[in-house]
Amino acid sequence: MELNKYIDHTLLKATTTPKEIKKLCSEAKEHNFFAVCVNSCYVKLAKDELKDSEVKIASVIGFPLGAMSTPAKVAEARQCIEDGADEIDMVINIGKLKAGLYKEVEREISQIKKAIGDAVLKVIIETCYLTDDEKVVASKASLNAGADFVKTSTGFGTAGATYSDISLMKNTVEDKMSIKASGGIKDRKTAERYIELGANRLGTSSGIKIVTSN
C-alpha cells in the first residue's frame, strides 16, 4: 500500500511561520505526499514552493469553528483558488446543524462548491461534536450539495477521527463520494486501518513517521 499518496501533509497551528510552511512543502516533495494542507494565508507561499512538483495544495476554510458567515467562507474559498489551491477543506456550521437547520448547512456547502468550480471540496463535519444521527445527516448534506469528500475533523475539536465514524460515513455515502479521516492519525497501523474501512485520504501531521515506519 502506497500510504504516501493518501496523505495530506498538514500544518494548521496558529503559530505556524512561513519557514515552517517551506519545510512542510519540502517534506511533501521528498515523500511524494498527495497534498499539503495549510491555512489560507499560506496558499501563495505553498504554490511557490511546490511549483515544480505534483504535490497538490489544500486550504482550510471557515477554520476551525465553522461559525463564519457564508459570504465570508465563499470569499475565502474563492481567494484560495485564485492563490493556487487545488482543494478546499471547509468546516460546516456545526451549531446550525445541531439546531436542525439542515437545509441551511447544505445550502452553504453548495454555495462554496459553486464558487470553486472544478476544485475538490472536502466538508469537515467535526464528528466529535455530533451524534451518529447528525453525522449521517451531515454526510448526506455534503453529498447532496455536490461536495467531493466528507471529512471527520479539524484536529482542533475535542477528538479526531474514529474507526466507527469512518464506517458510519462509508455506509452513508457508499461510493458516491470520498472520505477523509483526520485528527489523531499518528502511526502506520492506524492509517492502514482507516483506509481498509473506506478512507480515501488521511489528514495528518505525522505523515513522515507513518510512511517511514514498518
Cis peptide before 64 (omega within 30 of 0): yes
- Residues 60 and 37: beta-carbon distance below 8 Å: yes
The answer to whether the beta carbons of residues 125 and 133 sit under 8 Å apart is no
Nearest by Cα to 130 from 148, 153, 107: 153
Catalytic residue among 56, 73, 122, 151: 151
**Cβ within 8 Å of residue 201, ≥6 positions away:** 6, 7, 8, 34, 122, 149, 178, 179, 180, 181
Neighbouring-strand partners of residue 23: none
Number of domains in the chain: 1
Distance of alpha carbon 199 from alpha carbon 81, whole angstroms: 25
Task: State the catalytic residue, choosing from 86, 89, 148, 165.
Answer: 89
- 140 is annotated as an active-site residue: no
What is the CATH classification number for the domain harbouring 90?
3.20.20.70
89 is a catalytic site residue: yes
- Assigned C-alpha cell, 38: 495549510
Q: What is the pLDDT of residue 47?
A: 98
Structural domain boundaries, residue 69: 3-212
Apex CA 26: angle with CA 23 and CA 28, to 5°? 110
Q: Cβ distance 49 to 26 under 8 Å?
A: yes
pTM (2 d.p.): 0.97
DSSP state of 192: H
- Which strand (E) or helix (H) includes residue 22? helix 18-31
180 is an active site residue:
yes
Q: Facing residues of 122 across strands?
A: 89, 149
Q: Cell 495544495 maps to which residue?
A: 57
What is the chain's pLDDT, residue by residue, as a tens digit (214 residues)? 799 999 999 999 999 999 999 999 999 999 999 999 999 999 999 999 999 999 999 999 999 999 999 999 999 999 999 999 999 999 999 999 999 999 999 999 999 999 999 999 999 999 999 999 999 999 999 999 999 999 999 999 999 999 999 999 999 999 999 999 999 999 999 999 999 999 999 999 999 999 998 7
* Grid cell locating 44: 501563495
C-alpha cell at position 209: 513517521
